[in-house]
Amino acid sequence: MQHLKGKKAVISGGGSGIGRAIAELLSEDGVATAIADLHLPPSLPSGMLPVTCDVADPTAIDSLFSEVQQQLGAPDILVCSAGQGVHEKLIEGDPEKWQQVINTNLMGTLRMIRAFVPGMQERGAGDVVIVSSVSAGQAYPYGGVYAATKTALAVVAETLRQEVLPGIRVTVIAPGVTDTAFFENTLSGSQTVESIGYGAITPGQVADAVLYALRQPPGVSINNITLRPTAQAF
């Protein structure tokens, strides 16, 4: 397995949930980690660089890039974990909320890729991790817009993988129901882990899967990982 100590990482959505769990594991492995989020925790382990950032805002991505370059240098690992949900019928929902979700989930990831991956390509090495969802490619009532963004990210990830061969690895991790504040922060809808009824995996379990992919030898790529509560139907 590859040692990660001494590497540098930037994580969008790193202030809580899955992103925070990934950041903590990377930090424990000796990775200098920048966490970018709208809401940052009051205290962080040493070695973490907090940067307030809204990935839906192009100028915020520019500022994040500059801060990371100045404080850490070019990252070896990019984790795109920032995301937001919306739970509305397509014939009744609010297009402004839909646009916000598209700007965060899809455009935010694209902007992070555009900012940080060229530096990896110049060095000929790096890892990109995109946090998706089991809803990618899965139509379900009230989930059309959210699932569409995650489906689009699957296409983005595969396109990126082909464009940056052979030095850069691209991993998509698609969790099922996860016990985070995601449902509390959904723009509309009243789902909870309990109301969905499948049980839930933890952010730490998702982070373990991400670290498994990152620790593979340089010539080995884990391109897709799906994990969910065993009782989850899709």
Q: Has residue 1 been placed in a domain?
A: no
Q: Sheet containing 168-175: which strands, arranged edge to edge?
A: 48-52, 32-37, 8-12, 77-80, 126-131, 168-175, 224-227
**208: exposed, middle or buried (Cβ count in 10 Å: 0-12, 13-18, 19+):** middle
Tell me: pLDDT of 190 over 80.
Answer: no
Cβ atoms within 10 Å of 163's Cβ, excluding its own: 12
| Catalytic, out of 140, 142, 146, 212 | 146
Q: The CATH number of the domain where 30 resides is what?
A: 3.40.50.720
Domain-located, residue 135: yes
* pLDDT at residue 138, rounded to an integer: 92
Tell me whether residue 111 is in a domain.
yes
Q: Is the pLDDT confidence value at 228 over 80?
A: yes
Answer yes or no: is pLDDT of 197 > 90.
Answer: no
38 part of a folded domain: yes
How long is the chain?
234
- Summarised one tens digit per residue, pLDDT across range 20-62 is 999 999 999 999 999 999 999 888 877 799 999 999 999 999 9
Mind listing the pLDDT tens digit for each residue in 84-102? 999 999 999 999 999 999 9
**Secondary structure of residue 12 in the 3-state scheme:** strand
Structural domain contains residue 141: yes
146 catalytically annotated: yes
Residue range of the domain that includes 69: 8-227
The total of structural domains in the chain comes to 1
**Alpha carbon separation from 17 to 13, 30, 131, 225 (Å, rounded):** 8, 20, 12, 18
Is residue 232 in a domain? no
pLDDT of residue 150: 98
pLDDT tens for each residue of 107-147? 999 999 999 999 999 999 999 999 999 999 999 999 999 99
- Say if 44 falls within a structural domain: yes
Q: Give the CA radius of gyration of the chain.
A: 17
pLDDT at 57: 97
Residue 149 lies in a domain: yes
What pTM did the predictor assign?
A: 0.95
